[in-house]
Amino acid sequence: MRKAVSALEKGKVLVVPTDTVYGLLADATNKRAVAKVFQIKKRSPNKPFPLFVRDRAMEKKLAKVTPLQERFLKKAWPGKVTAVLESRTTGTIGLRIPKYPFILNLLKAFPKPLTGTSANIAGKEPARSIEEVVSQFAKRKHKPDIVLDAGTLPFSKSSKVVDLTGKKRTILRP
């Protein structure tokens, strides 16, 4: 755990197991680290990453949350639901409190939000094993700095994405 926290503090990008698939984690407040995640994934900077947050307090620092949204999130989190909310700064923000002990412990030890995106090149299938991670990134110029191997993960869909910014909830990804 200390090595992972130290790497995040240094702006490194980690591949770690999550409650869905292997993910690319970086300090979401470090612009260089976030830019590196975009390079690794070959993803447009116009398509921001959802963020893993530690708890409701962190959620409320980043997003404006109504009582109705809060009731939904109490049922959905921790879990495999990314909520799109109104950002406290500009536009919208996708947030998730994952239900995976390693990530939750990492978020407790590292007091900042983390990028919470799948470990794959944009448009390719998310990685469920280290072999899949390695095959996607091995020959690329931009690759993760550290890979934590948890073997092959149980099959799981990527997180459900629910837009909570309108009058009605909209499922963006089932």
Read off the CATH number of the domain in which 64 is found.
3.90.870.10
Alpha carbon distance 73, 62 (integer Å): 15
Domain count, the chain: 1
Confidence of residue 73 (pLDDT cuts 50, 70, 90): very high
Asked whether 82 and 162 are in contact (CB, 8 A), the reply is: yes
> Omega before 98 cis (within 30°)?
no
Q: pLDDT digits over 146-169, tens only?
A: 999 998 898 888 899 999 999 999
Residue 154: its pLDDT value, please? 86
User: Residue 12: which domain range?
Assistant: 2-173
Phi and psi angles of residue 95, each rounded to the nearest 5 degrees, phi first: -130, 150
Mean pLDDT score of the chain: 95
Prediction pTM value: 0.94
> Omega before 78 cis (within 30°)?
yes
Residue 157: its pLDDT value, please? 84
Q: pLDDT digits over 60-71, tens only?
A: 999 999 999 999
Report CA 63 to chain centroid distance, whole Å: 16
